[in-house]
Amino acid sequence: MFRPRIIPVLLLRNQGLVKSIRFTHYQYIGDPINAVKIFNDLKADELVFLDILASRDGRTISLDFVSKVGEEANMPFSVGGGINSLQNIREIISAGAEKVVLNAAAAKNPDLIRQASETFGSSTIVVCMDVKKRFLGRNQVCISNATKFIDHSPIEYAQMVEEKGAGEIIVQSVDLDGTMKGYDIELIGRISENVTIPVIALGGAGGLNDLRNAYINGHANGLAAGSMFVYYGSRRGVLINYPDKAELKKIIQ
């Protein structure tokens, strides 16, 4: 039976692992390589690392860091942060990552998606679409840590990303990031209905019921989260965790 991928998304800030709430209020979580070791033991399906300062600083995610993850990780992993050229992608793949995650560069230069998919294969190229509500609750795509909006609705942007050749798309709700109140199921469902590439839900997951809801009602192919996998309990104590086999079965039953 098909089971959606369950994917921890880990944020890097100055080489440390952090977690945010609505793209602000960053809390230091710990050492990212140690987190990889724990997720190895917990048999995570896949990992995503995003360097949240790379674009602002005019650089890409550290190749040395990518190499270290590649040496340690037993699962596939993707990385993003400041990637804006074919050469960046080539270096990152050579360093050990299975996929790259494009964000601002995809919005500013959509042809990079096409060029990258033609050069490295569509399965290597992931686009992360950040979505934030604006006037009257209307969702709009944003970039640069949600400080700039682009002139596309989420559906228009997702369809463009697919047409350009991306292998999958991460749909991230900025408003729900770190809240652990559940995904934006309506948003995820509408994107899933309008594209054929895999859709990965991100932003707001707080428990197994949220994962199940995004899979059953949002039709997401991948279920990603940050807080859910680094916090434990109502007081949000830092504890790297991941569902066991019995819990994973509950998502699809």
Residue 35: the pLDDT is: 97
Residue boundaries of the structural domains of the chain: 5-252
Which of 51, 130, 175, 177 does the annotation list as catalytic? 130
Residue 234 pLDDT? 75
pLDDT in tens, the chain (253 residues): 578 999 999 999 998 999 999 999 899 999 999 999 999 999 999 999 999 999 999 999 999 999 999 999 999 999 999 999 999 999 999 999 999 999 999 999 999 999 999 999 999 999 999 999 987 788 999 998 888 999 889 999 999 999 999 999 999 999 999 999 999 999 999 999 999 999 999 999 999 999 999 999 999 999 999 999 999 877 888 999 999 989 988 888 7
Separation CA 208–CA 188 (nearest Å): 17
Kindly give, in sequence order, each residue whose CB lies less than 8 Å from that of residue 168, ignoring residues fewer than 6 positions away: 126, 127, 197, 198, 199, 200, 221, 222
Indicate if 45 belongs to the active site: no
What is the CATH T-level fold of the domain 5-252, as seen in this structure?
TIM Barrel (3.20.20)
What is this structure's pTM?
Answer: 0.95
Helix, strand or coil, per DSSP, at residue 85: coil
